[in-house]
C-alpha cells in the first residue's frame, strides 16, 4: 500500500496560502445512488476526485449503468440498468454501497447484497435499511451472508420511524420512496446538509419531497425525469473542518475557499472558543494558529452538532491545548481506537470507555511510522505528523484517498513537506 512521508514542522506555524474545498464525499455518493432511480442521463459537477467515487461508479456499472468522468464532471446513464446484484467484494469495501439497496429495489423490484463494509467503526447495523423497506412492502430472504429484498409489485406507501438517526438510512429510504405507489412519511430523520442535497437532486428530477433538513420528511409519488443541467455537488464540510484544524495547529495564514461556513458552525465556534483566530467572509475562511490553545470539551452529535467525522482531527488539536480536554463520542463505538497511535507519538490520552477520552496538553509529538485505520483517523495522523518533530510515514494512503482527493497536493500548496511513497 502507498504511504505518505511528512516532514514535521515541530509545531512552528509556517503554513500559508489557499486551499480549495472539493465537492462533498458524503453528498456525491448518495446522489450517485439516487441517480439509479432516474431513468436517463444524470450529470454532476464539482465531483471530488476520491477513491469512493470510483468504487460507486463500478458498482453502478455492475448494475448496467454507464458512468463517465471528465475532470470534476460525471455522467451516469441508466437507460438499460436492469441489474439487481451488488458485486460482493466491491460492496464490502464501501459502506456507501448500502445506499444502492433502496434504489435498486425500488427500480428493479429486487436487490441482492452482502453485508456492506467500509471503515471499521464499531457496530454499523443495516437493520434500519431492511426494516424500513419491509415496512414499504419488501420481502427479505437470507442465505449465508447474502441478503435479497424483493418487491415484484413495487413499493407501497407507509410510515417509517427511524429508531436511531441515520444519514444513509434517511437518504436511502427517501430515494426508494420516490418510486413508491403512495405517500411515504419518514420520522426521526437525519438533518445533515447531504440529506438536503440528495433531496434537492431528486426534486430537480421531479420528485415531490417535503421537509428535508427537518426530522420529518414526506415523499409523494411522482414521475422522475433527468435534470438536463449538471447538478453541482455541495462543498465537503468535513474536508473544510479538517483544514481549519490544520490551520489552528500550524497555520500562519491559511485561506479556505469554496467552503460553506454555515455547514461547519459547530467546528468554527469550538475553535474560536479555543482562542483560534478565524475570519469568515463570502470568499473564504481564514485561520491561523494562536500562541496558546485553550482546552475544551468535545461532544460529537448529529447535525448541527460537532461532526463525528471531525473528531479524530480534533483530538490532534487537543494534544496542543493547555490543560485537560475531553472527547465524548456519541455516534460510533470503537471510533477512539486510533488514539493509541497518538500516544505512541507522545500524546497524553486516557481512554475511559469506547466513547470517552481525556487529553492532557500541551505535549510535544514525535515522528513515527504508523498506519491509518480509516479515512478520518488517517487524516488525523497526517495532521499529527505535520506538527511533530521529525519525519513520519503514514501508511494505508488508500484509505485517506477514499475521502480526500489529492491531499498531498493541497497540503504541499500551503508549504507542508509531504510526498507519496509508492508501494513496491
Phi and psi for 188 in degrees, rounded to 5? 60, 45
> Given the C-alpha cell 477513491, which residue does it identify?
51
Q: How far apart are CA 270 and CA 247, in angstroms?
A: 14
> Given the C-alpha cell 437507460, which residue does it identify?
79
Instruction: Answer yes or no: are the C-beta atoms of 174 and 188 closer than 8 Å.
Output: no
End-to-end CA distance of the chain: 8
Q: How far apart are CA 367 and CA 388, in angstroms?
A: 5
Sign of CA dihedral 59, 153, 80, 84: positive
Q: CB-based contacts of 349: which residues, under 8 Å, 6+ apart?
A: 315, 319, 339, 342, 343, 357, 358, 359, 360
Binding site residues for phosphoenolpyruvate, as ranges?
A: 25-26
Catalytic residues: 119
Sign of CA dihedral 303, 169, 212, 233: positive
Among 208, 231, 232, residue whose Cα is nearest residue 220: 208
Q: How far apart are CA 335 and CA 119, in angstroms?
A: 10
Residue 301: CA atoms inside 13 Å, Cβ hemisphere, count? 10
Phi and psi for 267 in degrees, rounded to 5? -70, -45
Cross-strand pairs, 70:
73
| Total count of residues recorded for the chain | 424
In this structure, what C-alpha cell is assigned to residue 156?
407501497
- b/e burial code for range 123-149 (CB count within 10 A of at least 16 → b): ebebebbbbbbbbbbbeeeeeeeebbb
Q: What angle do CA 405, 400, 36 make, to 5 degrees?
A: 65
Q: What angle do CA 111, 29, 265 make, to 5 degrees?
A: 135
Binding site residues, as ranges?
A: 25-26, 95, 309, 331
Phi and psi for 412 in degrees, rounded to 5? -65, -35
Q: How far apart are CA 324 and CA 326, in angstroms?
A: 7
Residue 340: CA atoms inside 13 Å, Cβ hemisphere, count? 9
Q: How many CB atoms are closer than 10 A to CB 291?
A: 6
Amino acid at each position: 500500500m502507498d504511504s505518505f512521508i511528512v516532514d514535521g514542522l515541530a509545531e512552528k506555524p509556517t503554513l500559508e496560502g489557499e486551499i480549495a474545498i472539493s465537492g462533498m464525499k458524503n453528498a456525491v455518493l448518495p446522489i450517485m445512488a439516487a441517480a439509479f432511480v432516474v431513468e436517463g442521463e444524470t450529470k454532476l459537477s464539482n465531483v471530488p476526485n476520491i477513491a469512493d467515487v470510483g468504487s460507486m461508479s463500478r458498482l453502478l456499472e455492475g448494475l448496467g449503468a454507464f458512468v463517465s468522468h471528465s475532470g470534476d464532471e460525471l455522467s451516469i446513464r441508466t437507460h438499460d440498468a436492469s441489474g439487481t446484484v451488488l458485486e460482493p467484494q466491491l460492496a464490502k469495501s464501501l459502506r456507501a454501497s448500502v445506499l444502492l439497496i433502496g434504489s435498486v429495489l425500488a427500480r428493479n423490484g429486487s436487490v441482492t447484497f452482502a453485508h456492506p463494509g467500509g471503515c471499521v467503526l464499531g457496530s454499523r447495523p443495516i437493520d434500519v435499511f431492511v426494516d424500513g423497506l419491509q415496512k414499504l412492502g419488501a420481502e427479505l430472504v437470507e442465505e449465508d451472508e447474502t441478503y435479497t429484498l424483493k418487491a415484484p409489485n413495487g413499493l407501497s406507501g407507509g410510515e417509517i420511524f427511524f429508531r436511531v438517526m441515520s444519514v444513509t438510512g434517511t437518504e436511502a429510504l427517501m430515494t426508494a420512496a420516490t418510486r413508491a405507489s403512495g405517500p411515504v412519511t419518514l420520522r426521526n430523520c437525519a438533518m445533515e446538509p447531504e440529506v438536503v442535497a440528495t433531496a434537492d437532486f431528486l426534486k430537480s428530477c421531479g420528485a415531490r419531497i417535503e421537509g428535508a433538513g427537518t426530522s420529518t420528511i414526506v415523499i409523494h409519488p411522482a414521475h422522475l425525469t433527468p435534470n438536463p443541467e449538471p447538478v453541482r455537488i455541495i462543498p465537503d464540510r468535513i474536508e473544510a473542518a479538517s483544514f481549519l484544524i490544520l490551520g489552528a495547529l500550524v497555520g500562519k495564514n491559511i485561506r479556505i475557499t469554496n467552503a460553506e461556513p454555515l455547514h461547519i458552525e459547530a467546528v468554527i465556534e469550538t475553535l474560536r472558543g479555543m482562542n483560534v483566530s478565524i475570519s469568515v467572509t463570502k470568499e473564504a475562511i481564514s485561520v491561523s494558529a494562536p500562541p496558546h490553545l485553550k482546552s475544551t470539551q468535545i461532544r460529537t452529535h448529529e447535525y448541527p452538532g460537532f461532526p463525528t467525522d471531525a473528531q479524530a482531527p480534533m483530538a490532534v488539536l487537543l494534544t496542543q491545548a493547555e490543560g485537560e480536554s475531553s472527547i465524548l463520542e456519541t455516534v460510533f463505538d470503537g471510533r477512539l481506537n486510533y488514539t493509541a497511535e497518538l500516544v505512541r507519538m507522545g500524546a497524553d490520552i486516557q481512554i475511559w470507555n469506547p466513547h470517552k477520552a481525556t487529553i492532557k496538553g500541551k505535549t510535544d509529538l514525535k515522528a513515527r511510522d504508523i498506519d491509518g485505520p480509516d479515512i478520518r483517523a488517517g487524516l488525523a495522523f497526517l495532521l499529527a505528523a505535520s506538527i511533530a518533530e521529525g519525519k513520519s510515514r503514514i501508511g494505508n494512503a488508500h484509505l485517506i484517498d477514499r475521502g480526500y482527493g489529492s491531499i498531498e497536493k493541497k497540503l504541499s500548496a500551503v508549504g507542508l513537506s509531504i510526498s507519496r511513497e509508492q508501494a513496491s
